[in-house]
Structure 1
Amino acid sequence: MVSPGTGDTRSSARIDAVIFDWAGTLVDFGSLAPTQIFVDAFASFGIDITLAQARGPMGLSKRDHIRTLLAEPAIRTQWIERFGHPASSEDIDAVYRRFMPMQIEKVAEYSQPISGAVQILQGLRERGIKIGSCSGYPRQVLDVLLPSAAASGIEPDCVVAGDELAAGGRPGPYMALANVLALGASDVRQCIKVDDTVPGIHEGVRAGMWCVGITLSGNEVGYSQAELALAESAEIDARVLHASERLTQAGAHFVIGTVAELPAVIQEIEQRLRRGEQP
């Protein structure tokens, strides 16, 4: 690793790797696949949750997501009323076991790349920039998603799942750092984490990376493409502003609508690196 103020300043002012989230960032505009499945999984236990509630902990590993939802006061109250006690670890496991086959069945239907994502990955490769990725999805779900995404042109060099690291997942830095190791990236300060969720931005910040938040195609805005086409511009602007504020507060250095806007951000980050700035 080159220490600040030493070595080749040209190489230290160049982005080495970009690590992407999946749903809402590279594929699945609006991050729809996990959201509706949480609603359906809870409904199978007689518990009603809204799409907004389901989106709340998005970015966490799916078991942690379920644990967080079951601790939310309104959902916790429903569970106690139905089952006579707060949700236990065994109950979290039961919901997770119900969720998993439902998610596996549906995830490939939401593997369509977000507009511009294929071209962005191609451009990064042409520049010699390594491409990593991580997700709150467990490995079983990614094993279904990845072939469908690859067939459409989305195929990072590294994929880390939310359930496969002993240290845990988001908001910790572990999946992002696992990408650094697997890719052989030289310096976390020359890496970018791109994500549409608050826990995903926390992950990148804690890993010491530049962080780019995604609004329009992501979980924080939450539109499907069909809903976006019908929405009033004022409503779109309000949702994007709210998402931008949330991601910025989480630590994002830049916020963009979709990955299609990433090249200009990379250029700006490299200019900052040349000025000696760090994440």
Structure 2
Amino acid sequence: MNYRYSRRYAGKLQAVIFDWAGTVVDFGSFAPTQVLIDALGGFGVEIHMAEARVPMGLAKWDHIRALGDMPQVAARWQAKYGRAMSDGDVDAVYEAFMPLQVAKVGQYSQMIPGALDAIAALRAQGIRIGSCSGYPRVVMDTLVAIAADRGYSPDCAIATDDLAAGGRPGPWMALENVIRLGVGDVAACVKVDDTVPGIAEGLAAGMWTVGLSASGNEVGLTHEEWVALSPIEQAKRRAPAVEKLYAAGAHFVVDSIADLPGVIAEINARLAKGERP
């Protein structure tokens, strides 16, 4: 006799797993990008902000490698050094990048407006707060301490070099949060991120995904610059970010973490109907 076991999770959300820069801290995601610009500038190779943002969400070594593979950046490196950027060169840039990132991460990592209230609302519902990042552990330890002083202490913080399997766009950091937070079903988790690799991470882990358009890498403005725009200008800047995040597979896209509680309510309603990510 053949038996088939079927189980469909219909409870409420148990955990939300946040990215860091552009999601909970650092409106516009400037800490990773500007420091990469500074690091490559130290090697005499100019990188523009728009270029630095293209691989955002990847582990930082992979981010540098991806920049070096971009045709326009590769041409500048070739012109400077007479050869293509090697993995050894990536190692050297990464070694220069690391102390700069540790020194400067706090300068950019103010809490995004509405983040603390949104997280408090989640905790009031019994939702656990996880996190992961493209930052390596040495940067994460610095950032976690800074964020704690500013009122944010997630229940779990996974860095991109914590796991042998690697980082985004794979599911491993998100799934490590599931393990450490003791969540019983990935369908009870939401991954919140401002980048395409971060959305891919959540989808690969079998989670609900929420993309953040205005606060993150895709729009790339400070909070002051964003709120200074007219509604028409905001709509123009938001639209391509929303399209890109939905194209990556995000289940929902909102401006910032401040808009998350309403999304959480909608996901809970869909779970109650037996829907899965």
Q: TM-score, normalised by structure 1?
A: 0.95
Structure 1 counterpart of 2:200, which letter? H
Structure-2 residue corresponding to 1:109: 107
Q: Partner of 2:117: helix, strand, or coil? A: helix
Distance 1:3 1:14 in 2: 19
Deviation of 1:128 after TM superposition, in Å, equals 1.1
Picking from 126, 131, 142, the partner of 1:128 is 126
For residues 114-164 of structure 1, give each alpha carbon's deviation from its aligned partner in whole angstroms, at most 9, with x where no partner exists.
111111222222211111000001111111111111111111000000112
Uncovered stretches (5+) of structure 1, i.e. residues with no partner: none
Structure-2 residue corresponding to 1:51: 49
Deviation of 1:181 after TM superposition, in Å, equals 0.5
Structure-2 residue corresponding to 1:245: 243
Distance 1:147 1:106 in 2: 14
For residues 168-210 of structure 1, give each alpha carbon's deviation from its aligned partner in whole angstroms, at most 9, with x where no partner exists.
1000001000100110111001100000000000000000000
Deviation of 1:3 after TM superposition, in Å, equals 4.8
Structure 2 counterpart of 1:273, which letter? L
Structure 2 counterpart of 1:162, which letter? T
Structure 2 counterpart of 1:94, which letter? A
Q: Partner of 2:56: helix, strand, or coil? A: coil
Structure-2 residue corresponding to 1:4: 7
Structure 2 counterpart of 1:105, which letter? A
Deviation of 1:78 after TM superposition, in Å, equals 1.0
Structure 1 counterpart of 2:104, which letter? K
Picking from 192, 201, 204, the partner of 2:202 is 204
After the TM superposition, list the runs of 4 or more consecutive aligned residues in structure 1 that deviate by more than 6 angstroms. none
Distance 2:187 2:218 in 1: 26
- Does the Cα contact within 8 Å between 1:19 and 1:133 map onto a contact in 2? yes
Distance 2:234 2:41 in 1: 29
Q: Percent identical across equivalent pairs?
A: 54
Distance 2:229 2:96 in 1: 33
231-240 or 39-48: bigger deviation: 231-240
Distance 1:214 1:260 in 2: 10
Structure 2 counterpart of 1:243, which letter? A
Uncovered stretches (5+) of structure 2, i.e. residues with no partner: none
Structure 1 counterpart of 2:24, which letter? L
Picking from 166, 169, 174, the partner of 1:168 is 166
Structure-2 residue corresponding to 1:223: 221
Deviation of 1:82 after TM superposition, in Å, equals 1.1
Distance 2:209 2:108 in 1: 25
121-130 or 74-83: bigger deviation: 121-130
Structure-2 residue corresponding to 1:90: 88
For residues 220-245 of structure 1, give each alpha carbon's deviation from its aligned partner in whole angstroms, at most 9, with x where no partner exists.
11001232243344332122110000
Structure 2 counterpart of 1:118, which letter? L
The number of residue pairs the alignment matches comes to: 273
- Does the Cα contact within 8 Å between 1:113 and 1:152 map onto a contact in 2? yes
Structure-1 residue corresponding to 2:211: 213
Q: Partner of 1:22: helix, strand, or coil? A: coil
Distance 2:91 2:230 in 1: 41
Deviation of 1:43 after TM superposition, in Å, equals 0.9
133-142 or 110-119: bigger deviation: 110-119
Picking from 66, 71, 74, the partner of 1:73 is 71
Distance 1:247 1:83 in 2: 36
For residues 11-56 of structure 1, give each alpha carbon's deviation from its aligned partner in whole angstroms, at most 9, with x where no partner exists.
x330011000000100011111111111111111111111000011
Distance 1:220 1:254, change over 3 A: same
Structure 1 counterpart of 2:7, which letter? P
Q: Partner of 1:107: helix, strand, or coil? A: helix
Q: Partner of 1:239: helix, strand, or coil? A: helix
Q: Partner of 2:148: helix, strand, or coil? A: helix
For residues 92-129 of structure 1, give each alpha carbon's deviation from its aligned partner in whole angstroms, at most 9, with x where no partner exists.
00000111111111001122111111112222222111
Q: Partner of 1:263: helix, strand, or coil? A: helix
- Does the Cα contact within 8 Å between 1:13 and 1:271 map onto a contact in 2? no
